[in-house]
Chains A and B, each alone.
Chain A
């Protein structure tokens, strides 16, 4: 073996770059991704519109008018026309976003916490714990998700609250499975053994190594579920299992306007357009965040 040693010697130390945290570098990567930025802004606009709905809506979303029914876009200051009871569509869409977003986001958040925890425990725990958790989740998989949501909502009665509970139950098994798979993959990697070799206890390994590696995929999956949640929530309302009339909700609006499709097709399609824009924006935003969050790219 050669005995010469060529050790790289430290050159003049460059000034240490400003310590940028993980989220700082994610943000930095997002800045160079115009598509994600654009759809992020759309999502932000939708969320802000929902929060400040009473301030933004030009008309009272519940004010009916016998003579102003199903008017076209731009009629008498009603930019997006009026519905079958003469209510301003734009105002109803802005207000409807509240229910739709809530029903899209809250169940996903609940499912992420519950399913994620169950999944990590199932993935990290022994075979018995894993079997108990995962086989229980498999029972939920026996039903198609739409059917399951409809069945749970139907059994508990309509209303936004029951709808959210139903959607949470639909999303939890999927979330659990994603977390379980990610955990099971991570726990057998060398760095977990290396951590153990440096004296890390089980809790430290869970908190630092497992969570750090599992949170990414879980978060990405959750963000992609939001659009599914909005769609399913609209579907429930459309079927009369979600919110009750006259509450403004995109799915419900679509359902009631459906009867007038031959009178004014453009106006009738608008709630669908709102659903489409929202779910596409959430999807593309989640895609962008997915690639920005991957430190290996």
Chain B
């Protein structure tokens, strides 16, 4: 977080400072993440909220260095549990991935290998990190499936991914991610591909496991409802920058940045059915050609001249709150 204004109760589990990710191809350079700074304490859930292309998934993958090395340029610092992720050797990186940090993916359909059974895949991960025999690993896999509340877990071990429903597959995915007791869990829209009733089950399960295991969690989503359900803090991303950050209740009650307000206005929450939902006009900027000023200014009804000239510096209007907007004092938002 810019300036570290959150009272540090425990040493941060994740410290990301001025993270910049660019994708360089022969024809163009996409500025996917532009100077993102945040931290996560052990046991805390940070929700990164943003629309497609805002750089939230890229940020998550950068934390594990999962981006294709050839065309990705990463700068800034990423520290997880004191380790400088960007400086790790390949062997150290392999230990970090799945051991200290693990990740849940959006599509349970494709994130599991179709030709191996669930048990086999979980056991493979356990064997890799713990160096135990297959029998021990399979026993651990069974434990994990029971932990994530898969019904009749013992017989599910022998099921192939296509034999399971989306919700069960995502649970298996979660079991795999938790198999080696990670201290940091990265979740990349884990509930987006699920239908609404399953979504809430998986969210509650994740929240419960996260609390029990005391994992720091970074949860990426575009769904405000999901964020409000699971987050301790929210960071709103737009065009590769964190435009607003703060505790979940404060942000939901009193959004500061015009983009956050726009997001909330465009969400369905029991308003009059006959009223149209307020959409934010315009569309996100082209990441290959970002405007020099605030990236949101072209769509912002409060935009003034100073918004267009330089990227707004972070401001801290209240303890624990941050927003990158020069017009913070302006109350009206059409």
23 pairs, A vs B, C-beta closer than 8 Å: A5-B204, A7-B201, A7-B205, A14-B152, A14-B154, A19-B158, A20-B158, A190-B107, A191-B111, A191-B112, A191-B113, A193-B66, A193-B111, A194-B105, A197-B102, A199-B94, A199-B97, A199-B128, A209-B113, A212-B116, A295-B115, A295-B162, A296-B162
Binding-face segment, A39-47, A200-208, A226-234, A254-262: A200-208
Check A213/B115 contact, CB under 8 A, given A10-B149, A190-B110, A296-B162.
Answer: yes
Q: Give Cα distance in the complex from A296 to B66, angstroms.
A: 29
Q: Give Cα distance in the complex from A193 to B98, angstroms.
A: 12
Check A208/B124 contact, CB under 8 A, given A193-B105, A199-B95, A199-B97.
Answer: yes
Q: Interface size on A (CB < 8 Å)?
A: 36
Which A residues touch B97, using CB under 8 A?
196-199
* Chain B interface (Cβ < 8 Å from any Cβ of A): 64, 66, 90, 94-99, 102-103, 105, 107, 110-116, 124-125, 128-129, 146, 149, 151-155, 157-158, 160, 162, 173, 176-177, 179, 197, 200-201, 204-205, 225, 228-229
Q: Give Cα distance in the complex from A282 to B40, angstroms.
A: 61
In the complex, whether A34 has a CB less than 8 A from a CB of chain B is no
Contact B200 A1 (CB under 8 A): yes
Contact B155 A6 (CB under 8 A): no
**Count of chain A to chain B residue pairs whose CB atoms are closer than 8 Å in the complex:** 111
Among candidates A6, A190, A199, A216, residue contacting B197 with C-beta atoms closer than 8 Å: A6
Chain B's closest residue to A195 (CB) is B113
Check A204/B115 contact, CB under 8 A, given A5-B200, A191-B110.
Answer: no
Which B residues touch A204, using CB under 8 A?
128
Q: Give Cα distance in the complex from A14 to B154, angstroms.
A: 8
Q: Give Cα distance in the complex from A235 to B179, angstroms.
A: 57
Contact B110 A199 (CB under 8 A): no
Contact B115 A5 (CB under 8 A): no
A interface: dominant SS: loop
Which A residues touch B146, using CB under 8 A?
10
Q: Give Cα distance in the complex from A17 to B213, angstroms.
A: 31
Q: Give Cα distance in the complex from A148 to B310, angstroms.
A: 67
Chain B's closest residue to A201 (CB) is B94
Check A213/B152 contact, CB under 8 A, given A2-B200, A197-B66, A198-B97.
Answer: no
Which A residues touch B149, using CB under 8 A?
7-10
Which A residues touch B151, using CB under 8 A?
8-11
Contact B152 A10 (CB under 8 A): yes
Q: Give Cα distance in the complex from A20 to B90, angstroms.
A: 36
Which A residues touch B197, using CB under 8 A?
6
Check A198/B152 contact, CB under 8 A, given A212-B116, A296-B162.
Answer: no
Contact B229 A1 (CB under 8 A): yes
Chain B's closest residue to A20 (CB) is B158
Check A295/B66 contact, CB under 8 A, given A10-B146, A190-B111.
Answer: no
Contact B128 A200 (CB under 8 A): yes
Instruction: Tell me the chain A residues, 1-47 only, with Cβ under 8 Å from chain B.
Output: 1-2, 5-11, 13-14, 16-17, 19-20, 22
Q: Give Cα distance in the complex from A7 to B112, angstroms.
A: 22
With A190-B111, A198-B177, A296-B114 given, can you name 16 additional A-B contacts, CB distance below 8 Å? A1-B228, A1-B229, A9-B151, A10-B146, A10-B151, A11-B152, A190-B110, A193-B105, A194-B173, A197-B64, A198-B102, A198-B176, A198-B179, A199-B96, A199-B125, A201-B94
